[in-house]
Structure 1
Amino acid sequence: MNRFVKLFHFELHRIRYWYGALLVLTLLLQVAGVMEYAISYKSRFQEAVLREGISAGQYVADYGAANFIHYSSGFFFSGPIAICAAVLLIYTLFIWYRDWVGKNMFVYRLLMIPTSRMNVFAAKLSTIMLLTLGLVGFELLVVPLQLTVFNTIMPAELRETFNIVEVFSSHTLLQILVPNRLGQLLLYYAAGLAFVIVVFTGIMLERSYRWKGAIAGVAYVVASIVLFLMPLIASETFYRYYLYDHEVFWLLVGAGILIAGCSLALSSYLLKNKVTV
């Protein structure tokens, strides 16, 4: 356990600056975006007042009220979330492959540590999941901040009023990050964990057998995704209206556990017996 904690701390230490930069970029883009939206709307309203002498109520009736949910569908809100997801997906590969880079490959030292190699696997897996949860938690803090900035800049008579729950329930990406049902929350994050395990297993295949392993790794990841989605595909095609929603849910859970378990077993075997440096 002590070895795992040290490896886990080491992995977090390696990514701290890049991760901090990603958080700062997300904060700056989203806050700047909501400020730009609110200020632009106020500017258009002020121009209309000078040009036509209309009231706030008439302007809202003619052009519509400022809407935070409408703003959240734009790039400055959704873009940083998509960028974070893409960066984490890339880092899922990079967290392994950078250990093989350079003449003095760090993987020599990493795999020679007197502990189970699965501790290395678990440390990298835990790092990815903690980074993911950290970004979700950060977004939970930034969205209320954006809403506060929006409400501060925009006069009450020019905007529609929304609370945090309405904002999260109206946005597709936020619904995925923070589902309003416990079952969905567990399914989404368990599926994400299983996906990372599967990708790690694909990397182990590539590191074990090189080009043949790369082909096998890609095939393994694709086959795992298809197998996981089979209950959902079957319920929408071959057995439409035959399976209840809760039955599909438990089939997905079972498929995810089976895939994750097999992937962990295969990764353990490859790390111990096939992965070389």
Structure 2
Amino acid sequence: MKKTLKALLNLTTFEFDRISRFLYVLIGITLTANLTGYILTPVRYVNRMNAHMVQNSVTDQQALQAFGELSFSDVISTVWILGPVALGISGLLLYSFFIWYREWFGKNTFAYRLLMLPVPRMHLFYSKLVVIYISIFTLIAVQIISLFIGFQLVSAIVPGEWLRSMTFLSALNMHPFFYYVLPLEPWFFIAINGIGIVFLLVLFTVILMERSFSVKGIMLGITYGIAALFTALLPAFLPEVVGNHYFFYNSELLILTILLLSFISFASIMISRFLLNRKITI
């Protein structure tokens, strides 16, 4: 057991070393763009307010009627904040493909060397999954710290009477994008990340199908992905299927969703294990 855990830890460390440069680039882009937005957006607002008061000889209250108060929610709605978040999500999604396909690049494919290691092949699967999630949580932590610092910067730049009163948490909850990307409610956070894990398990399984069966594997992977999606969404359409929206309690639909997602996860792991051990040969 100890040797197994050590082998998994070593593979995870190895994979993290390979993704670290890419992750640091994403963090650098995020912090640089965010800082620009936290300063540029409120400074432009303050300059616009001052210019309007000088040009039209009006008070700040009259200028507020023309432009309205600035809120932190307005600041985080700009491309300076949303852009890096979208880049991070899409970047890690693409890396979820690349983390497997890079092993087969080149004449002397590195994948075969990894598969020859004296460890269970599923360790490769789990190490890649863990590394993706470490990267996701690292970006989430960086983004939360960035937003907290940005909240202080905006509050310092914009005069208090020109700034709409709201807390840091309420500003995040008001924004639909951050409501789902950075959920603050514990159960919602667990649910979002649980769905993310299931998605990655299915994605990894689809990739291994393609690696195992080539062209046929693409069709098998697409079919499996559609079947998994249909299974996961079944509870949402079940009331429509039975023709009665009151036939199931919400708690029953929630339990059914958890069971189906657990089934998809288990099926993906078992299929991936079979493909790695039996179909991908060296």
TM class by smaller structure: over 0.9
> Which 4+ residue blocks in structure 1 deviate beyond 6 angstroms?
none
Distance (whole Å) between structure 1 residues aligned to residue 84 and residue 215 of structure 2: 35
Matches for 1:1-277 after TM superposition, within 5 Å: 1-235=5-239, 238-277=243-282
Aligned length: 277
Per-residue CA deviations over 1:164-216 (Å, capped at 9, x if unaligned) read 11012111222113334333222211111011011100111111100000111
| RMSD over aligned Cα atoms | 1.5
Tell me by how many angstroms 1:243 deviates: 2.6
Distance (whole Å) between structure 2 residues aligned to residue 125 and residue 189 of structure 1: 13
AA aligned to 2:148 is P
8 Å Cα contact 1:23/1:135 also seen in 2: yes
Q: TM-score, structure 2 length as denominator?
A: 0.94
8 Å Cα contact 1:117/1:271 also seen in 2: yes
Distance (whole Å) between structure 1 residues aligned to residue 233 and residue 31 of structure 2: 34
Per-residue CA deviations over 1:75-127 (Å, capped at 9, x if unaligned) read 22212111111111111110000000011211121100001000010000111
Unaligned 5+ segments in structure 1 are none
Distance (whole Å) between structure 2 residues aligned to residue 168 and residue 128 of structure 1: 25
| Partner SS, residue 191 of structure 2 | helix
Identity percentage of aligned residues: 28
Distance (whole Å) between structure 2 residues aligned to residue 274 and residue 239 of structure 1: 45
Unaligned 5+ segments in structure 2 are none
